[in-house]
Amino acid sequence: MSEEERSQLVRILDYIRASKKLKITLFLAPSILIIGIWFYMPFLVCFLISTNTLVQKVYTWIFTFKVSFENYIDLISYPTFIPIFKRSLYYGIVTTLGSIIISYPAAYYVGQKVSRRYRNTLMFLFMLPFWVNFLIRIYAMKFVLAEHGLINTFLEMIGIIKRPIPFLGTDLGVLITMIYDYYIFMFLPLCATIEKIDKELLEAAATLGASPVKTFLKVTLPLSMPGILAGTILVFTPAIGEFVIPILVGGIHTYTLGNLIEELALEIHSWELGATAGIIFVAIVTAMTYAYIKLLGGEIKIY
């Protein structure tokens, strides 16, 4: 390297060191590039296919300058789209609510009642089952929910039921499995949030005459809303488009949007409708998540 090239390189480095914005841009550039290529680019391709801007000709794709929303009209009029969409929304909402109901008591106990000495051990025990492969957990739940599985056998032994409850092939079985597989994503943010609640606030509420229920509603619950918000996003987003559990546990009668996209793209070979369904799914999830954040994501006040 010549002296002139070395001095020019030094000037460039000095300019980078002097510019805070440029340093941040260069620092974030690799991550932004990776996210742009591997995350946003597939959505862009799906959108171009859904609007017939990218058209398949035999084994190649041709870029055109026309924009058509004909595929969106065709998809909405597709016989099973509306029922499948309603079922997916139902699965997402019930899974989220079920995860909150199951996770909150455990998160509150671990975060507020357990000493720091044993808290990490309990957290480890809660997370241990989720180190097992996702598919193995689903097949294990199929064994638990089977006609002569653990649940039905136990209920028959204690005399609650006389004949097995049909879990497999039903919405109930799918929801139980989905709640089991996703509740950890609600438990972890809830536990992290509740752990940070100052116990002196709870003691102050009790000193001022608030009952345990009122203390929970006026102090604990509002302060734990950030954890509920984060957990809801982590659970609802994958649950509304769950693909594997409805097939393995529910069967063809419990199809979700994820199964519909797979059917349209790979079985019917309609990439246009499959891409359109994917774009609609992303748009719906994004809109609902944004509305939820705007509703609960602001500053939470304690009255």
Q: Give ∠ CA 191-151-102 in degrees, rounded to 5.
A: 15
Whether residue 303 lies inside any domain: the answer is no
Chain-centroid distance of CA 49 in Å reads: 26
Residues 101, 231, single domain; the answer is: yes
Mapped onto helix, strand or coil, the DSSP state of residue 62 is strand
Chain-centroid distance of CA 225 in Å reads: 17
What is the mean predicted confidence (pLDDT) over 104-119?
A: 86
Last residue in a domain, options 47, 68, 89: 68
The pLDDT tens digits for 266-293 are 777 788 888 898 898 888 888 888 887 7
Residues 36, 100, single domain; the answer is: no
Residues 197, 55, single domain; the answer is: no
Whether residue 38 lies inside any domain: the answer is yes
Look at residue 104 in the predicted model and tell me its pLDDT.
92
Whether residue 41 lies inside any domain: the answer is yes
Angle between helices 134-145 and 171-195 (to 10 degrees): 120
Cα gap 259→161, rounded to integer Å: 34
Q: Give ∠ CA 39-190-96 in degrees, rounded to 5.
A: 65
Whose CA is closest to 110, among 97, 102, 119, 101?
Answer: 119
Sequence length of the chain is 303
Question: Are 88 and 285 contacting, i.e. CB atoms less than 8 angstroms apart?
Answer: no
Count of domains in the chain?
2
Q: Which residues form the domain of 226?
A: 71-296
Look at residue 300 in the predicted model and tell me its pLDDT.
42
Look at residue 123 in the predicted model and tell me its pLDDT.
85
Name 266's Cβ contacts closer than 8 Å, sequence gap at least 6.
Answer: 274
Residues 64, 75, single domain; the answer is: no
The pLDDT tens digits for 2-14 are 777 777 777 777 7
Residues 175, 79, single domain; the answer is: yes
N- to C-terminal Cα separation, the chain: 69
Residues 55, 158, single domain; the answer is: no
Torsion of CA 219, 220, 225, 231, to 10 degrees: 180
On the question of pLDDT at 117 being above 90, the answer is: no
Look at residue 287 in the predicted model and tell me its pLDDT.
87
Whether residue 143 lies inside any domain: the answer is yes
The pLDDT tens digits for 28-71 are 888 888 888 888 888 888 888 888 888 877 677 788 888 888 88
Percent of the chain topping pLDDT 90: 16
Residues 95, 168, single domain; the answer is: yes
Residues 190, 223, single domain; the answer is: yes
Cα gap 30→28, rounded to integer Å: 6
What are the φ/ψ torsions at residue 54 (nearest 5 degrees)?
-115, 115
Q: Return the beta strands (E) in the chain as ranges.
A: 54-57, 60-63
Whose CA is closest to 95, among 254, 263, 271, 300?
Answer: 254
Cα gap 174→233, rounded to integer Å: 20
Look at residue 97 in the predicted model and tell me its pLDDT.
94
What is the enclosing helix (H) or strand (E) of 105? helix 81-108
The pLDDT tens digits for 237-270 are 889 888 889 989 988 788 888 888 888 887 777 8
The pLDDT tens digits for 221-238 are 888 988 998 899 899 988
Name 285's Cβ contacts closer than 8 Å, sequence gap at least 6.
Answer: 236, 237, 240, 241
Last residue in a domain, options 46, 68, 90: 68
Whose CA is closest to 176, among 165, 191, 188, 192?
Answer: 165
The pLDDT tens digits for 61-106 are 788 888 888 889 888 888 888 898 899 999 999 999 999 999 999 9
Tally of CB atoms within 10 A around 116: 7
Residues 40, 80, single domain; the answer is: no
| pTM (predicted TM-score) | 0.81
What are the φ/ψ torsions at residue 257 (nearest 5 degrees)?
-60, -35
Whether residue 302 lies inside any domain: the answer is no
Look at residue 303 in the predicted model and tell me its pLDDT.
37
Look at residue 1 in the predicted model and tell me its pLDDT.
61
